Structure 1
């Protein structure tokens, strides 16, 4: 028996090849998500010097704050606030639990990952730099990386699998070849679109240099989270204990 390809054999063969390849791509979605995470982290135990800048609706700079973020394995993160207005304050994330520690108090205060730090940057936006393990991912299809672009990205639908995540679900666009994150839509528990995120890579295109958040619930204000420096660092275990942090206003 022979197969008649008709007037456009090359196009038909291309469609058949794409259809055969698609299941393999869909099955590898978890690996794609881990690839995307590496652009934001790069190591299990990391120190990230971070600058957060909030902008007014006319695009001029409003405020900025500096943070030192110690992202450690097993979903543990310590954030030290470095700007004069917040000096001495700390945020500790242990899995699904978040605490705010004030230098004037010896009682850690429970907070949520949605707690605002500056502009539209929340605690979770600063403390969490991974999607893998926090979300289940489904490959939706291929779509323009940006509206109006001809370049195509993989679109992933992420659904939270843990209660302590910042967003209940995420729509994420990844570049097709190396799976670097391009943009995302961030939804809160009410399933409202809270923010969009755009990811800027460094000159070598090996890691995310900045994440730009745009408010979708208010006035479209922009907040830029810049990762000034990353280096591998494992902090002392006691730094990840909220009671120790409450008794120790100075760590370095």
Structure 2
């Protein structure tokens, strides 16, 4: 008969192995959703309760798990603005202003439900650790906990298609597990180059009844970039990458 310390040790290693499986699964979901380094074009649409909308087109580039930059292509009033994220640090550049200004993950450069963390999204595995994994017949549910206090959402529940290993829905929660945002992944599209992923991401929030925001990807492809692209000095020059 096994002793109590031996049973505790077995349970510890079983939980550790399960956590490693969850981390590997989250990394696979990240790679299926986006290449490690890529460029993309996307339209952001903010929808108000009365039906009024505001649209933005962004050209975005990403390298590794901590570098993201985005350039506003339209509307004309926003053209030339750019944002940069290096790990937990974010900046906004506006033509005519002396130097980039710091912004936070919970602010939004476009207004609406998507915040800066959503717009300048890093890999989920870069920001979150897997606390728990559940499975149904066709989906897997990952309970994620932020690795640092600077992450926009303290906890995330991520549902993914078990076969495609692509997210279908996310719930964003506070430390007290209060729901602050839903994110839905829709309309799987073949972007070429082996990239098959949702082309539409929608979000709503119980904190902003009647408001919705939609992100539509028109193009996405793997591309390599030099580190110099992701610097404050280069923010005015992102147009040259298009």
| TM-score between both structures, scaled by the size of structure 2 | 0.81
Task: Return the alpha-carbon distance in structure 2 between the equivalents of residues 23 and 135 of structure 1.
Answer: 16
Structure 1, unpaired ranges of 5+: 1-21, 144-150
Please state how far the C-alpha of 1:140 moved relative to its aligned partner: 4.2
Residue in structure 2 matched with residue 68 of structure 1 by the alignment = 59
Q: What stretches of structure 2 of length at least 5 have no aligned partner?
A: 1-14
User: Alpha-carbon deviation of 1:202?
Assistant: 1.8
1:213 & 1:196 partners in 2: Cα distance?
A: 5
Are the structure 2 counterparts of residues 38 and 104 from structure 1 closer, same or farther at C-alpha, using a change threshold of 3 Å?
same
How far apart are residue 208 of structure 1 and its match? 1.8
Rg bigger for which structure? Answer: 1
Distance 2:152 2:235 in 1: 23
Matched, 1:79 2:70: yes
Match of 1:106 among 95, 98, 105: 98
The aligned residue for residue 15 of structure 1 is: none
CA distance in 2, matches of 1:103, 1:249: 12
Pick the aligned partner of 1:55 from 47, 58, 83: 47
Aligned residues: 222
CA 1:37/1:52 → structure 2, altered by over 3 Å: closer, same or farther? same
Q: Is the Cα contact below 8 Å between 1:114 and 1:166 reproduced in 2? A: yes
Corresponding position: 1:178 with 2:164:
yes
How many angstroms does 1:124 deviate by?
Answer: 1.1
Q: Please name the residue that 2:11 is paired with.
A: none
* CA deviations over 1:79-114 (Å, ceiling 9, x no partner): 101111211111000011101111111222111111
Say whether residues 1:212 and 2:202 are aligned partners.
Answer: yes
From 89, 95, 101, give the equivalent of 2:81.
Answer: 89
8 Å contact from structure 2 (residues 185, 201) kept in 1? yes
- Taking structure 1 as the reference length, what is the TM-score of the superposition? 0.78
Post-superposition CA distance 1:99-151 (Å, at most 9, x none): 111111122211111121231111111111420121101334235xxxxxxx6
